[in-house]
Amino acid sequence: MANRYNRPLMMRSLFSLAFLIVAISSASAESAKINPGKYVRDNDTGRLTIQKNKKNELHFSIVSFGVNCHSCSASGVIRNGVGHADSWHEDEECLISFSAQKSSIDIEPITHKECRGVCGHRADFAGSYVIPPAACTGAGRQSQRNRFLALYRSRQYSQAANTLETLIAQCSEFMHWIEVDQVRNDLALSRYHNNEASQCLDTLNGTLAAKVKNEAELISGEHDTHLSPCDFESYIGLAKAIWFNRSLCSKAQPERK
């Protein structure tokens, strides 16, 4: 008797549960959708562009950067979460897994041997790629640095420094380490001209060049620098500027206390 009267209630409960499962599944599928956009791997070590082509397929383009200026470059179409990289050899296709997360896209090679062919020896494209905030895109960062330069040239050193402090605080995870050191060097120089020698030194101490005293020590890698030849050539000009500015701030510190 009790079972007979409870049956409609049980059926309604099962129907509600089934509806909830479908709703959750639909929401999960929607959140896992691969959307067009310009994505960046941590510290600007890789860039992924996804857009619709003329056939309304998702087209991808990956460029990533590794040690000693080695890089990867691949492009193609995404079908059912699998990227098919363009290749001259049909039997050596680089297949790539594209997995959309809540706020990122994870990329992994499926055919590892074939995908090695699109990369230099010391580079890879695997990892998590995110869409940076507008202020932290390449154009956004350049806009902030242009604003800094205008303020610096007009001798508004405090405002200029604040602009770069904001840039580092908001966008350092989207910037290559050399770019971060460039910004720190400019920030330190603004602090120097604003009679803040101690803050200048504190800022420069965060750079790679501050770990060593000169070019010879930077080459030797004795202080955990370990730069590859290509990275050394890319960095040495900035390192010399940092050493020069560190000397300026060190000499100014006793006079400006």
Q: How far is CA 208 from CA 31, 141, 154, in A?
A: 40, 21, 29
pLDDT digits (tens, 9 = 90+) for 130-146: 999 999 999 999 999 99
Does 145 lie in the same domain as 235?
Answer: yes
Residues 89 and 187 in one domain: no
Domain end point (choices 78, 110, 130): 130
150-172 average pLDDT score: 98
Contact 70, 122 (CB under 8 A): yes
Q: Are residues 84 and 43 in the same domain?
A: yes
Number of domains in the chain: 2
Question: Which position has the token pair 């390449």?
Answer: 138
On whether the CB atoms of residues 58 and 52 are closer than 8 A, the answer is yes
Q: What is the mean pLDDT of residues 81-105?
A: 89
Q: Are residues 96 and 149 in the same domain?
A: no
Please indicate, yes or no, whether residues 242 and 144 belong to a single structural domain of this protein: yes
Q: Is residue 16 part of a domain?
A: no
141 and 49 housed in the same domain = no
| Single residue among 130, 146, 162 that ends a domain in this structure | 130
181 compared with 30, residue with greater pLDDT: 181
65 domain residue, yes or no: yes
Asked if residue 149 and residue 53 are part of one domain, the reply reads no
In a domain, 14, yes or no: no
In terms of Cα–Cα distance, which of 208, 219, 195 is closest to 242?
208
Q: Which residue has the higher pLDDT, 104 or 253?
A: 104
Q: What is the mean pLDDT of residues 218-245?
A: 89
Query: Are 144 and 232 members of one domain?
Result: yes
- Residue of 106, 103, 104 whose CA lies nearest to 126: 106
Residue 152 lies in a domain: yes
Residue 228's pLDDT band, with cuts at 50, 70 and 90, is confident
Note whether residue 78 is domain-resident. Answer: yes
Mark whether 122 and 188 lie in a shared domain. Answer: no
Q: What is the dihedral of CA 243, 245, 251, 255, to 10 degrees?
A: -160
Residue 224 has pLDDT above 60, yes or no: yes
Query: Which of 99, 130, 161 is at the close of a domain?
Result: 130
Rounded to an integer, the average pLDDT of 111-117 is 94
Range(s) of the domain holding residue 122: 37-130
Q: Are residues 159 and 226 in the same domain?
A: yes
**What pLDDT shows up at residue 25?**
40
- Within a domain: residue 71? yes
Specify the CATH number for the domain of residue 215.
1.25.40
On whether both 157 and 241 belong to a single domain, the answer is yes
Which of 3-7, 15-19, 158-162, 163-167 comes out lowest in average pLDDT? Answer: 15-19
pLDDT at 90: 66
Range in 20-24, 60-64, 188-192, 245-249 the model is least confident about: 20-24
110 and 148 co-located in one domain: no
Residue 61 and residue 126 in contact, taking contact as beta carbons nearer than 8 Å? no
